[in-house]
Structures are given as C-alpha cells and as structure tokens.
Amino acid sequence: MRINIEYRHESGFEKFFHKIATKTVAVMYDINTLPYALQIKAEMEKRGAKLLDVAYSDEELIPSEDKCEYAYEIAATADYVLAVGSGTLNDMAKSVATRRNIESGVLVTAASMDGYCSKGAALMRAGVKVTDEVRTPSDILIDLDIVCNAPRLMTAAGFGDIIGKYTCLTDWRMAHALKGEPIDEEAYALMEQARTACVNAFEDLTNHTGEAVAKLMDALITAGLSMAKCGNSRPASGSEHHQSHFLEMDFVRRGEKIPMHGLKVAIGTLVSIELYNYIKDNRITFNGAEKVYRLAEALPRVDTVRDMLVKMGCPVRFSEIGVRKETMEEMIDKAYTVRDRYTVLTLIHDLGLTEQIKPILMEKYY
C-alpha cells in the first residue's frame, strides 16, 4: 500500500483532508496529545468528517488488552482511525484498524520512535510485550512546529532509536555471515542512508532546527518503510532493541513507569558496541571470527556514540533511567531470548562469554 507521508503546509494536510471528508473517523489521543487532537478534529469537522472520540486520561498509556478493546468498540462504526501521538497510540490505532479492516493514520507529535510506518504493533498481553503484524498506516501527518516543540527528551529518544541502527544492521550482517540469514540489500541500504543523513545533521539537531529534525523524522519513517520492504524488523531492530524489550517487560511486571523506548535503545547500543569490541579486541576465536572482527571495526567508536548521546541529553547508564542492578544483570544473561533472532547477544551466549563480560558492562553502563 502506498503511504501518504504529508508535511503540513499553509492549507493543512490537503490530501488527508480530501480523503476523510465524508468518512467517520475515530480519533485516538491521550492527555498529553489532547491540544493537537482538538486542533485537527476542528479541521476535519470543517471538511465534513464525522468524528468519534477515543480519549485516554492516562499520562503514560500502556497498550494493554483492555485499552485496545476500548478503542476497538468505539471504532465499530468508523471508516478510519487516526492516532494523535507517537509510539503507543500509533501501534494501538494500527491494531484496531487492522482488526476492523479499515485504514489508519497518525498525526505525529514527536520524533521519538521509528515505528510510524512499520507493519508491527507492540502491545502488552498478560504483562508480556508482543508484536502483532498489522497494516501500515495509509497516512503519516507531520507538522514540524509540533515535532520541533516536543519535549527535548523525546527527540533524544528518537535519535537514540536511529543510533541503534548501527548495531542492528551490524547484527544483520553478522547473522548473514555466520548463519546464512538472507539480507534484503535494498531495505538495508534505505536504513543505512537515512541513518547517515541524520547523523550528519547531528550538530543542527542538538539545536532542534527544523531542517535537522526533519532529517531525524525522515530516518524514523524510513525505518518503518525498510521493515515493510523486507517483511520483518531486521533493518531497524537488533541486540540493542532486545535489551530495551527485556527491560520494558520488567518495568511492566513491577508496575513502574517505563522509560522511553529510544532511551533504552540508546544505552543498549553502547552495550552492543562494547560486545563487538570485546570479541575483536580479545581476538576471541570461533568459526567466522575474522568476519565479525571486520564488522566490529566498521562500527563507530563507543566514546563517539556516548558523547553524541550526552549532547542530545540522552542518559548513557541504565541506572539513570531507573533500571535495577539485578535487572540489568538478568538482561545481560537473558536478553538474547527475547526474539528468535541471531545477534551479538546470541553470539556472546553461544561462546560462553557472558559471565566474564558482565562485570565490564555493569561497571560502564550501570
């Protein structure tokens, strides 16, 4: 399906407004995105759309079964579902629209995550994070005034998600080299080029200029497009994301506030680069080791990545975002089990290196 990626102009989102002019639209939002929901609802009503409210009072919305079911019921008579928000609301809207067999879209409120265009929806079932296959949104609506004025930490999280593409793409190459996993070279190149453009705009991004934030936004959207292109999340998710997912499930089990996904991914990226460096610097021997050494050499220096994250205002230790010491230790042991996917976490486990590298990781990243 062709996605309408539309930036706001003086006349608004004209392609989108034309599409929904005679439709019934379920508008999903929470207490944080209410002001933007009110604005676009008024604009849609002027175009003749009939609106249904799917409003949440949560300051931190968890995509649980009951929250999704609430939206599903309200959207019973809808022709279209529009999320006003970022990660959670977007995933819930995609899920509801897929179940209802209707289109969905999202008014982006922050450059905070890379799932806007993806075919996956991260939801919680019985306290466990699962990823459902869903339809991609038909419309991605971007107002740079909204995105540039998002909380700085949300933009830092988005940058952390893009920095994670260094290790996820390296994991993909490694899985190809060691396990013969196929690579979709077009999807790989799409993600690599978007990541590079974003990183090249880093200095302007620290000042939150519109042009630099647009490049970050483009990179985040490209992540979803590249995942849709190859049919899985390989271009955008590797060992750094598996650490984030493991920690997120622990926060949910404890009933504690979950740190933003991209912040956990950013620190996980540092950990993953550290793992590659450990294998390379210690010349750990195994079948295919030389290929892994070369992949490790191509990664940016861990100090360089850490300095960029600090300049963006991103935490660089798990203790800074409320992770418990014992949880990080467990993460090092078990994060490789989160997905059935070969990454550097799996390699470290298979080589029996977990216990000897754990103290190094704890010292540097806890």
Give per-residue pLDDT as tens, 183-228: 999 999 999 999 999 999 999 999 999 999 999 999 999 998 898 8
- With a cut of 70, say whether residue 174 has pLDDT above it: yes
Query: How many CA atoms lie within 13 Å of 58's alpha carbon, on the beta-carbon side?
Result: 14
Mean pLDDT of the chain: 94
Distance between CA atoms of 246 and 329, rounded to whole angstroms?
11
pLDDT bracket for residue 150 (50, 70, 90) = very high
Residues 6 or more apart from 338 whose CB is under 8 A from it? 242, 245, 246
Evaluate whether 98 touches 205 at the Cβ level (below 8 Å). no
75 vs 136, 181, 193, 258, 356, CA distance in Å? 18, 40, 38, 28, 52
pLDDT score, position 258: 87
pLDDT score, position 81: 98
Read off the pLDDT of each residue in 310-321 and give the average, rounded to a whole number.
97
Per-domain residue ranges of the chain: 4-148, 152-365
pLDDT bracket for residue 305 (50, 70, 90) = very high
pLDDT score, position 73: 96
Tens of pLDDT, residues 261-299: 999 999 999 999 999 999 999 999 999 999 999 999 999
Read off the pLDDT of each residue in 129-153 and give the average, rounded to a whole number.
91
Fold type of domain 152-365? Dehydroquinate synthase-like, alpha domain (1.20.1090)
- Structure tokens, 300: 């940016």
- With a cut of 90, say whether residue 341 has pLDDT above it: yes
Evaluate whether 144 touches 213 at the Cβ level (below 8 Å). yes
pLDDT score, position 9: 83
Helix (H) or strand (E) holding 123: strand 120-125
Q: Give the length of the chain.
A: 366
- With a cut of 80, say whether residue 129 has pLDDT above it: no
pLDDT score, position 262: 95
Give the pairing of strands 24-29 and 50-55.
parallel
- With a cut of 80, say whether residue 56 has pLDDT above it: yes
Fold type of domain 4-148? Rossmann fold (3.40.50)
Query: What percent of the chain lies above the pLDDT cut of 90?
Result: 84
pLDDT score, position 229: 86
- With a cut of 70, say whether residue 260 has pLDDT above it: yes
Query: What percent of the chain lies above the pLDDT cut of 70?
Result: 100
- With a cut of 90, say whether residue 80 has pLDDT above it: yes
Distance between CA atoms of 126 and 105, rounded to whole angstroms?
27
Do 4-148 and 152-365 agree at the fold level? no
- Structure tokens, 178: 């060691």
pLDDT score, position 130: 79
pLDDT score, position 1: 58
Read off the pLDDT of each residue in 126-149 and give the average, rounded to a whole number.
89
Residue 301 CB neighbours (<10 A): 10
